[in-house]
Amino acid sequence: MSPRDIAAAGEGDSRPVALVTGAAGGLGGCIAARLYDRGHRVALTDLDAEAAAKAAEALDPTGENALGLALDVRDKDAFVRVRDELVARWGVVHVLVNNAGHSKIEALMDITPESFSAVVDTNLNGTFYGCQVFGQYFAERGFGRIVNIASLAGQNGGTATGAHYAAAKGGVATLTKVFARDLGSRGVTVNAISPGPQDLPVVRRTVDPEKLAQTEAMIPVGRLGRPEFIADVAVLLSAAHADTVTGACWDVNGGLYMR
């Protein structure tokens, strides 16, 4: 988003403001870094406040254009507090990336009600609360971009993740359409990115190496995804001139799922 784009959207600041959830590391950290590199002021939020602060400091030691904040996406009021803090600090927010997620590899019949609720609470409820709080805020201003991180698991039932994760991510794709339809006439776009298995430390740490190798062998392009490209897609969907793309789910899965 260029200064000219921002002016067209009714803003006078030279740097648009983006909030990324689950941004202390992994894919969220990659997305936050790419938004920062592309000229955004970025709030990196995470359940781990200390890790979020360190990640923000690594991007911008001055703290002028990157900020780390605690955010529990399971708490709608927490989104309100962070929104208000960012508005007080930078005057406005333009972009929300709902990235925070929680997965747990469990056999289908071994998933307890508590485990199912915990995974859904973060992945689905957290996305819903973020879309609600910032969707209303953006609609009142007449401009906003929401990017939800869905998953291939929500499209094909999952390969290396649990049923609770797959169900929640399928819900994220549906919520994206619901909010896109409701907010489209008010200058707010809502889109999803649906990554396949990514080459991330958390993936290599949590997925059995043999299972991961089998998964990688099934990918038509022959390799795990690049988080940097997911970040590029998030930046593109966040642009002011992406105003006719809404309710879409952009697949980035190496050909594992084609439609």
Which amino acid makes up residue 27?
L
Mean pLDDT of the chain, nearest integer: 93
CATH for 3-252 is: 3.40.50.720
Give CA–CA dist 10/195, Å, rounded: 32
pTM score:
0.93
CB atoms within 10 A of CB 70: 16
Beta carbons of 35 and 28 less than 8 angstroms apart: no
Predicted confidence at residue 135, as pLDDT, reads: 98
CA angle 212, 214, 215 (to 5 degrees): 65
Per-residue pLDDT tens over the stretch 15-24: 999 999 999 9
232 has pLDDT over 90: yes
For residues 177, 182, 186, 188, the Cα torsion angle rounded to the nearest 10 degrees is -30
Residue scoring higher pLDDT (242 or 213): 242
Which residues carry out catalysis?
165
Is residue 197 helix, strand or coil?
Answer: coil
Alpha helices in the chain (DSSP H): 3-8, 26-37, 49-59, 76-90, 113-120, 126-141, 153-156, 163-183, 201-206, 209-218, 227-238
Element (H, E) at 45: strand 41-46
12 has pLDDT over 60: no
For residues 69, 70, 75, 79, the Cα torsion angle rounded to the nearest 10 degrees is 0
CA nearest neighbour of 100 among 118, 82, 78, 126: 126
CA 109 to chain centroid, in Å, comes to 29
Per-residue pLDDT tens over the stretch 152-197: 999 999 866 799 999 999 999 999 999 999 999 999 999 999 999 8
